[in-house]
Amino acid sequence: MGNVMCEQTQDCHVWLGPLITKVSSMLGKGFQEVRYEVSVPTDSFFISNLFFVNVVSNTSPDDDDEAKKSAKYTNIVVKKMPAETLQEVVGSRQQFHNEVLFYQKYAQYYDRAPRCIYATEEPLSLDSVIVLENVATERGYSVCKWKYDTPLEYTLAALREIARFHATAYATKRTREKEFFDFVNAIEEVRNQETSFSQMLNGTATRSLDFLRRQGHDKEFCDKLEARMANTYEDLVLKFFEIEEPLATLCHGDFTINNTLFKKESDELKVILVDFALIRYGSPILDLSMFLCMHCARDLDKVMLDNVLRVYHDSLIQCLKENDIDVGDYSYEALYEDYKKRGLFGFFITTFFLAMQMGKFDEEMEDFAKTDQTEWPALARQIGGEEVDEILANMLLKLEEFGCLDYIL
């Protein structure tokens, strides 16, 4: 049976009950007969329909207290395809395909991912589902309470783990080339011109320039940059996505604080990555710039950026050496130059997502999805007002100092 713990779970039992019956045999001994309780997370933003399920081995009313105390339990996460409106808007069908693909074809190489218990893809229906261990309850990881202005300790821990993720891909590419590229070639593009992604980028990329103009900043600079950002997705982001060897690696694709869980263990901050729906093959800078621009926006100056990139690079080299991979192709200088070339990627994402991270957006995603998509960029430019405008403008100027505008101006 299911114990409803939240109004949002009212409709899930029609499909969740049979699913739990199906996967219970995969949970280990003692789970042949089970009951479950279900709740939904409320502390982060999710595209998928996400459910936390506590599965308990069944006991009968006649069992004594000792038997009931010895009942086994486990906690799992169930991800299900969202409503059709979101499928079209954010490419959730492709996202589900990619995450199922990750767990079926690649997670064996990156053994630090959550354990996948069950995954199935049903492209023509809403029945695609992924069942994972709940690493929060099973392993003690938790979300970071800082969604922006993230403390340096957490930033560095996250960068060390994404370095391990990237290094695993470099190693797999070298040692299992065919399997790796078969997997890469099966990844479906999510952030394409047919989704809201390109419209939002094109519509919000110049938000910071409006603020700079109001502050009397150099007009020639603003005019020149605005012209280059007129078609940000087509003219800039697609170039950021271009594959350049040997630095190309498997990127998480949505490397944000929401998808990075932490726990303290022996005075060390450990990290586990979750949600691999936006994986792509490309520059590691796509991941690095997203996290740093989104969560360190006020602190991201030239000195800080150089320091955190060195921490990432040190971890990357250590992991490559552990896998007996020649590190000659992965110099810090090459990484630094690639950040100058593609570091604006994270900035562009931040122009429309930072306000949401800061809690300035209180609409439901599905209600937002029902709004005419042509209106989204104009709405997004206004969320957070002058406060977000100023953060974005200052970050843009700091990225200019680092050299991130050298390739576009």
Q: What is the DSSP string of 207-250?
A: HHHHHHHHTT--HHHHHHHHHHTTTHIIIIIHHHTS--TTT-EE
The DSSP element (H or E) to which 322 belongs, if any, is helix 302-322
Span of 74-88, 138-152, 196-210, 257-271 with lowest mean pLDDT: 74-88
Nearest CA to 316 among 274, 276, 288?
A: 288
Mean pLDDT of 183-203: 88
Better-scored residue on pLDDT, 45 or 325: 325
Q: What is the mean pLDDT of residues 218-236?
A: 96
Residue 53 has pLDDT above 60, yes or no: yes
Mean pLDDT for the stretch of residues 20-34? 82
Residue 141 has pLDDT above 90, yes or no: yes
Using H for helix, E for strand and C for coil, what is the string for 49-83? Answer: EEEEEEEEECCCCCCCHHHHHCCCEEEEEEEECCC
The rounded distance, in Å, linking the Cα atoms of 88 and 194 is 9
**Confidence band (pLDDT; 50, 70, 90) for 387?**
very high
**pLDDT at 140 exceeding the cut of 80:** yes
**Is the pLDDT higher at 378 or at 183?**
183
Portion of the chain with pLDDT greater than 90, in percent: 65
Tell me the C-alpha to C-alpha distance, in Å, between residue 260 and each of 39, 185, 299, 338, 360.
21, 26, 20, 24, 21
Confidence of residue 6 (pLDDT cuts 50, 70, 90): very low
- In this structure, of 157-161, 276-280, 301-305, 362-366, the range with the lowest mean pLDDT score is 362-366
Burial of 213 (0-12, 13-18, 19+ CB in 10 A): middle
Distance CA 395, CA 299 (A): 8
- Which amino acid type is present at position 358? M
Q: What is the pLDDT of residue 58?
A: 72
pLDDT score, position 25: 82
Q: What is the chain's mean pLDDT, rounded?
A: 88
Local confidence band at 395 (pLDDT 50, 70, 90 cut-offs): very high
Which domains does the chain possess?
2-139 (3.30.200.20), 142-402 (3.90.1200)
- Global pTM value: 0.91
Q: Please give the Cα distance from 309 to 343 (Å, whole number).
A: 12
SS3 36: strand
Q: Are 250 and 164 in contact (CB under 8 A)?
A: no
Only one residue has tokens 């992604």, namely 197
| CA distances from residue 32 to 12, 58, 192 in whole angstroms, order as listed | 21, 8, 44
Burial-class residue 397 by CB neighbours within 10 Å (0-12, 13-18, 19+): middle
Q: 1 pLDDT band (50/70/90 cuts)? A: very low
From its phi and psi, is residue 216 left (phi > 0), alpha (psi between -120 and 50) or beta? left
- The H or E element that residue 143 is part of is strand 142-143
